[in-house]
Amino acid sequence: MTTNLPMIEVSNLGKNYGSVKVLSGVNLSIQKSEVVCILGPSGSGKSTLLRSMALLETYQEGAIYIEGELLGFKEAGGKRRPATAKETSYTRRNVGFVFQQFNLWPHLNALSNVALPLMLARSLSRSAAEKKAIEMLERVGLASHAKSYPSRLSGGQQQRVAIARALAPDPHIMLFDEPTSALDPELVGEVLQVMKSLAREGMTMAVVTHEMGFAAQMADQIVFLDGGKLVSKAPPEEFFRESTNPRIQQFLSNFT
Ligand code: ADP
Ligand code: MG
Protein backbone atom coordinates (compact mmCIF):
# COMPACT_ATOMS: atom_id res chain seq x y z
CA MET A 1 0.00 0.00 0.00
CA THR A 2 1.46 3.35 -0.97
CA THR A 3 0.17 6.26 0.98
CA ASN A 4 1.24 9.68 2.12
CA LEU A 5 -0.45 9.20 5.45
CA PRO A 6 1.74 10.74 8.15
CA MET A 7 3.25 8.37 10.71
CA ILE A 8 1.99 10.70 13.44
CA GLU A 9 -0.72 13.30 13.11
CA VAL A 10 -1.49 15.48 16.11
CA SER A 11 -4.58 17.56 15.55
CA ASN A 12 -5.75 20.34 17.85
CA LEU A 13 -4.49 18.37 20.85
CA GLY A 14 -5.59 19.54 24.28
CA LYS A 15 -4.55 17.97 27.57
CA ASN A 16 -5.16 18.91 31.17
CA TYR A 17 -4.22 17.54 34.53
CA GLY A 18 -7.36 18.17 36.55
CA SER A 19 -8.16 21.83 36.02
CA VAL A 20 -4.65 22.66 34.80
CA LYS A 21 -4.36 22.98 31.04
CA VAL A 22 -0.93 21.77 29.91
CA LEU A 23 -1.39 21.46 26.12
CA SER A 24 -3.77 23.31 23.87
CA GLY A 25 -4.36 23.48 20.14
CA VAL A 26 -1.24 21.50 19.24
CA ASN A 27 -0.97 20.53 15.58
CA LEU A 28 1.94 18.47 14.33
CA SER A 29 2.45 16.06 11.51
CA ILE A 30 5.41 13.69 11.26
CA GLN A 31 6.08 11.89 8.00
CA LYS A 32 7.79 8.55 7.56
CA SER A 33 11.57 8.76 8.20
CA GLU A 34 11.32 12.30 9.51
CA VAL A 35 13.21 13.41 12.58
CA VAL A 36 11.36 16.03 14.59
CA CYS A 37 13.07 17.73 17.51
CA ILE A 38 10.86 19.22 20.20
CA LEU A 39 12.37 22.16 22.05
CA GLY A 40 11.04 24.44 24.71
CA PRO A 41 11.54 25.65 28.26
CA SER A 42 11.00 23.46 31.28
CA GLY A 43 7.31 22.92 31.98
CA SER A 44 6.23 23.86 28.46
CA GLY A 45 4.58 20.47 27.88
CA LYS A 46 7.25 18.64 25.86
CA SER A 47 7.09 15.42 27.87
CA THR A 48 3.32 15.54 28.01
CA LEU A 49 3.14 15.84 24.22
CA LEU A 50 5.59 13.01 23.67
CA ARG A 51 4.01 10.77 26.31
CA SER A 52 0.59 11.39 24.77
CA MET A 53 1.90 10.13 21.42
CA ALA A 54 2.85 6.85 23.14
CA LEU A 55 -0.42 6.63 25.08
CA LEU A 56 1.50 6.96 28.34
CA GLU A 57 -0.95 9.81 28.95
CA THR A 58 -4.56 10.24 27.93
CA TYR A 59 -5.77 13.45 26.34
CA GLN A 60 -9.07 15.29 26.41
CA GLU A 61 -9.26 17.31 23.19
CA GLY A 62 -8.36 16.81 19.58
CA ALA A 63 -6.81 13.69 18.17
CA ILE A 64 -3.58 11.82 17.73
CA TYR A 65 -3.37 9.44 14.80
CA ILE A 66 -0.57 6.90 14.64
CA GLU A 67 -0.27 5.54 11.09
CA GLY A 68 -3.86 6.62 10.54
CA GLU A 69 -5.26 5.00 13.69
CA LEU A 70 -6.92 7.22 16.28
CA LEU A 71 -4.90 6.78 19.46
CA GLY A 72 -6.61 6.03 22.73
CA PHE A 73 -10.22 6.26 21.57
CA LYS A 74 -12.75 4.48 19.44
CA GLU A 75 -15.24 6.55 17.52
CA ALA A 76 -18.69 5.53 16.38
CA GLY A 77 -21.66 7.65 15.39
CA GLY A 78 -19.82 10.86 16.27
CA LYS A 79 -19.20 9.59 19.80
CA ARG A 80 -15.95 8.68 21.44
CA ARG A 81 -15.14 6.15 24.07
CA PRO A 82 -11.75 5.30 25.54
CA ALA A 83 -10.15 2.39 23.72
CA THR A 84 -9.43 -0.75 25.70
CA ALA A 85 -5.87 -1.91 26.35
CA LYS A 86 -6.42 -4.69 23.83
CA GLU A 87 -7.63 -2.28 21.16
CA THR A 88 -4.53 -0.11 21.55
CA SER A 89 -1.92 -2.83 21.92
CA TYR A 90 -1.01 -3.01 18.21
CA THR A 91 -0.49 0.74 17.94
CA ARG A 92 1.39 0.97 21.23
CA ARG A 93 3.77 -1.79 20.15
CA ASN A 94 4.69 0.21 17.09
CA VAL A 95 5.83 3.17 19.16
CA GLY A 96 9.14 2.80 21.03
CA PHE A 97 9.86 5.14 23.94
CA VAL A 98 13.17 6.11 25.52
CA PHE A 99 13.07 7.87 28.90
CA GLN A 100 15.45 10.40 30.37
CA GLN A 101 16.14 8.09 33.34
CA PHE A 102 16.61 4.91 31.22
CA ASN A 103 14.08 2.97 33.37
CA LEU A 104 15.96 -0.33 33.09
CA TRP A 105 14.99 -3.13 35.44
CA PRO A 106 17.81 -3.13 38.00
CA HIS A 107 17.48 -6.82 38.86
CA LEU A 108 17.84 -7.96 35.23
CA ASN A 109 21.01 -7.97 33.17
CA ALA A 110 21.24 -6.06 29.87
CA LEU A 111 20.24 -9.11 27.82
CA SER A 112 17.13 -9.79 29.91
CA ASN A 113 16.18 -6.12 29.94
CA VAL A 114 15.94 -6.29 26.15
CA ALA A 115 14.55 -9.83 25.92
CA LEU A 116 11.83 -9.69 28.56
CA PRO A 117 9.47 -7.30 26.72
CA LEU A 118 9.78 -9.51 23.64
CA MET A 119 8.67 -12.49 25.67
CA LEU A 120 5.83 -10.60 27.32
CA ALA A 121 4.52 -8.36 24.53
CA ARG A 122 5.48 -10.42 21.49
CA SER A 123 5.15 -13.85 23.04
CA LEU A 124 8.56 -14.93 21.81
CA SER A 125 10.20 -17.95 23.40
CA ARG A 126 13.12 -17.19 25.68
CA SER A 127 15.66 -18.40 23.12
CA ALA A 128 14.12 -16.40 20.26
CA ALA A 129 13.87 -13.32 22.48
CA GLU A 130 17.49 -13.63 23.59
CA LYS A 131 18.67 -14.07 20.02
CA LYS A 132 16.87 -10.88 19.03
CA ALA A 133 18.15 -9.14 22.16
CA ILE A 134 21.77 -9.93 21.28
CA GLU A 135 21.22 -8.50 17.79
CA MET A 136 19.81 -5.34 19.34
CA LEU A 137 22.68 -5.03 21.81
CA GLU A 138 25.09 -5.44 18.89
CA ARG A 139 23.32 -2.63 17.12
CA VAL A 140 24.02 -0.25 20.02
CA GLY A 141 27.57 -1.58 20.45
CA LEU A 142 26.96 -3.45 23.70
CA ALA A 143 26.88 -7.16 22.85
CA SER A 144 29.93 -7.68 25.08
CA HIS A 145 27.94 -6.29 28.04
CA ALA A 146 24.95 -8.61 27.64
CA LYS A 147 25.46 -10.20 31.06
CA SER A 148 26.10 -6.91 32.88
CA TYR A 149 23.56 -5.55 35.32
CA PRO A 150 22.54 -1.89 34.93
CA SER A 151 24.44 -0.87 38.09
CA ARG A 152 27.69 -2.00 36.42
CA LEU A 153 27.06 0.04 33.29
CA SER A 154 27.76 3.73 32.74
CA GLY A 155 24.80 6.03 32.17
CA GLY A 156 25.59 6.12 28.46
CA GLN A 157 25.66 2.33 28.29
CA GLN A 158 22.41 2.08 30.26
CA GLN A 159 20.71 4.45 27.86
CA ARG A 160 22.00 2.43 24.89
CA VAL A 161 20.50 -0.70 26.47
CA ALA A 162 17.24 1.21 26.87
CA ILE A 163 17.37 2.12 23.18
CA ALA A 164 18.03 -1.53 22.28
CA ARG A 165 15.04 -2.53 24.41
CA ALA A 166 12.80 0.01 22.69
CA LEU A 167 14.00 -1.11 19.24
CA ALA A 168 13.64 -4.82 19.86
CA PRO A 169 9.92 -5.12 18.97
CA ASP A 170 10.64 -3.38 15.62
CA PRO A 171 8.64 -0.19 16.28
CA HIS A 172 7.78 2.05 13.34
CA ILE A 173 8.30 5.19 15.41
CA MET A 174 10.79 6.02 18.16
CA LEU A 175 10.14 8.71 20.75
CA PHE A 176 12.97 10.05 22.92
CA ASP A 177 12.33 12.23 25.97
CA GLU A 178 15.57 14.07 26.80
CA PRO A 179 17.59 10.88 26.31
CA THR A 180 20.91 12.52 27.20
CA SER A 181 19.85 14.95 29.92
CA ALA A 182 20.73 12.58 32.78
CA LEU A 183 24.19 11.82 31.40
CA ASP A 184 27.60 13.20 32.27
CA PRO A 185 28.75 15.34 29.32
CA GLU A 186 31.39 12.86 28.18
CA LEU A 187 28.73 10.14 27.77
CA VAL A 188 26.29 12.16 25.68
CA GLY A 189 28.09 11.53 22.38
CA GLU A 190 27.79 7.74 22.39
CA VAL A 191 24.01 7.96 22.81
CA LEU A 192 23.61 10.66 20.14
CA GLN A 193 25.71 8.50 17.82
CA VAL A 194 23.25 5.61 18.16
CA MET A 195 20.34 7.98 17.56
CA LYS A 196 22.01 9.45 14.47
CA SER A 197 22.57 6.03 12.96
CA LEU A 198 18.92 5.18 13.58
CA ALA A 199 17.84 8.39 11.89
CA ARG A 200 20.09 7.68 8.92
CA GLU A 201 18.54 4.22 8.60
CA GLY A 202 15.20 5.98 8.12
CA MET A 203 13.57 5.60 11.52
CA THR A 204 10.74 8.03 12.17
CA MET A 205 11.71 9.88 15.34
CA ALA A 206 10.45 12.57 17.68
CA VAL A 207 13.12 13.76 20.09
CA VAL A 208 12.72 16.12 23.03
CA THR A 209 16.21 17.45 23.50
CA HIS A 210 18.41 20.33 24.59
CA GLU A 211 21.20 19.12 22.29
CA MET A 212 21.14 21.95 19.79
CA GLY A 213 23.91 20.38 17.69
CA PHE A 214 21.86 17.22 17.25
CA ALA A 215 18.75 19.24 16.42
CA ALA A 216 20.61 21.39 13.90
CA GLN A 217 22.24 18.40 12.24
CA MET A 218 19.50 15.78 12.30
CA ALA A 219 16.09 17.44 12.50
CA ASP A 220 13.82 17.79 9.50
CA GLN A 221 11.57 19.99 11.60
CA ILE A 222 12.07 21.75 14.88
CA VAL A 223 9.01 22.50 16.93
CA PHE A 224 9.05 24.89 19.83
CA LEU A 225 6.59 24.62 22.69
CA ASP A 226 5.87 27.40 25.14
CA GLY A 227 3.16 27.31 27.79
CA GLY A 228 1.56 24.23 26.27
CA LYS A 229 1.25 25.75 22.81
CA LEU A 230 3.24 24.96 19.73
CA VAL A 231 4.58 28.39 18.80
CA SER A 232 6.94 27.49 15.97
CA LYS A 233 7.47 24.70 13.48
CA ALA A 234 10.34 25.12 11.03
CA PRO A 235 13.32 23.41 9.45
CA PRO A 236 16.48 23.93 11.54
CA GLU A 237 18.09 26.54 9.24
CA GLU A 238 15.02 28.69 9.58
CA PHE A 239 14.54 28.02 13.27
CA PHE A 240 18.09 28.85 14.31
CA ARG A 241 18.77 31.74 11.91
CA GLU A 242 15.51 33.45 11.32
CA SER A 243 13.38 33.06 14.35
CA THR A 244 12.24 36.46 15.54
CA ASN A 245 9.99 35.14 18.29
CA PRO A 246 11.34 36.69 21.53
CA ARG A 247 10.58 33.52 23.54
CA ILE A 248 12.63 31.45 21.13
CA GLN A 249 15.46 33.98 21.11
CA GLN A 250 15.47 34.01 24.89
CA PHE A 251 15.49 30.19 24.97
CA LEU A 252 18.32 29.94 22.44
CA SER A 253 20.40 32.52 24.29
CA ASN A 254 20.84 29.91 27.07
CA PHE A 255 22.84 27.76 24.67
CA THR A 256 25.27 30.26 23.24
P1 ADP B 1 8.34 19.66 29.99
O2 ADP B 1 8.60 18.25 29.63
O3 ADP B 1 8.33 20.61 28.85
O4 ADP B 1 9.27 20.16 31.08
P5 ADP B 1 5.87 18.61 31.10
O6 ADP B 1 5.14 18.07 29.95
O7 ADP B 1 6.59 17.66 31.99
O8 ADP B 1 6.87 19.76 30.60
O9 ADP B 1 4.89 19.43 32.02
C10 ADP B 1 3.99 20.40 31.50
C11 ADP B 1 3.16 20.95 32.65
O12 ADP B 1 2.32 19.93 33.16
C13 ADP B 1 3.98 21.46 33.82
O14 ADP B 1 3.37 22.61 34.32
C15 ADP B 1 3.92 20.33 34.80
O16 ADP B 1 4.04 20.81 36.09
C17 ADP B 1 2.54 19.75 34.54
N18 ADP B 1 2.48 18.31 34.81
C19 ADP B 1 3.24 17.35 34.24
N20 ADP B 1 2.91 16.13 34.68
C21 ADP B 1 1.89 16.32 35.56
C22 ADP B 1 1.10 15.44 36.37
N23 ADP B 1 1.27 14.10 36.34
N24 ADP B 1 0.16 16.00 37.16
C25 ADP B 1 -0.04 17.34 37.18
N26 ADP B 1 0.66 18.21 36.44
C27 ADP B 1 1.63 17.72 35.65
MG1 MG C 1 10.07 16.91 30.20
pLDDT per residue over 69-106, tens digit each? 999 999 988 899 999 988 998 888 899 999 999 999 99
Model confidence at 242, pLDDT cuts 50, 70, 90, reads confident
Q: Assess whether pLDDT exceeds 60 at residue 22.
A: yes
CA of 94 from ligand 2 middle (Å) equals 22
The beta-carbon contacts of 78-82 under 8 Å, at least 24 apart in sequence, are 82/58
Q: What is the model's pLDDT at position 249?
A: 92
Q: Is the CB of 52 under 6 A from ligand 1?
A: no
Q: What's the average model confidence in pLDDT over 195-206?
A: 98
Contact predicate 84/58, CB 8 Å: no
Pocket of ligand 1 contains residue 99 by CB under 6 Å: no
Given this model, what pLDDT does residue 215 score?
97
Residue 154 has pLDDT above 80, yes or no: yes
Ligand 1, closest atom to CA 228? 10
Average confidence (pLDDT) over 226-250: 93
Question: In whole angstroms, how large is the CA radius of gyration of the chain?
Answer: 18
Give the per-residue pLDDT at 2: 55
Pocket mutation for ligand 1, best pick of 16, 22, 229 (most atoms within 8 Å of C-beta): 22
* C-beta atoms surrounding 135 within 10 Å: 14
pLDDT score recorded for residue 41: 96
**Average pLDDT, integer, range 168-188:** 96
Cα of 40 from ligand 2 centre, angstroms: 9
Q: What is the pTM of this model?
A: 0.95
Least confident span in 39-48, 232-241, 247-256: 247-256
Look at residue 156 in the predicted model and tell me its pLDDT. 98
8 A C-beta contact, residue 5 and residue 67: yes
Per the model's pLDDT, the better-predicted residue between 174 and 244 turns out to be: 174
**Tens digits of residue pLDDT in 130-142:** 999 999 999 999 9
Tell me how far apart the alpha carbons of residues 48 and 56 are, in angstroms, rounded to a whole number.
9
* Percent over 90 (pLDDT), the chain: 88
Atom 20 of ligand 1 has which residue's CA nearest to it?
48
The answer, yes or no, to whether residue 28 has pLDDT greater than 60, is yes
- Helices 126-139 & 155-167 angle (0-180, nearest 10): 130
For the segment 131-159, the average pLDDT, to the nearest whole number, is 97
Alpha carbon nearest to ligand 1 atom 12, residue:
22
Task: Decide: 44 in ligand 1 pocket, CB within 6 A.
Answer: yes
pLDDT at 115 over 70: yes
Ligand 1 site-directed mutation target among 38, 48, 59, 231, most atoms within 8 Å of CB: 48
- In this prediction, residue 187 carries a pLDDT of 96
Residue 1's pLDDT is: 54
**Quick check: CB of 243 below 6 Å from ligand 1?**
no
Query: Does 253 contact ligand 1 (Cβ within 6 A)?
Result: no
Q: What number is the ipTM of this complex?
A: 0.98
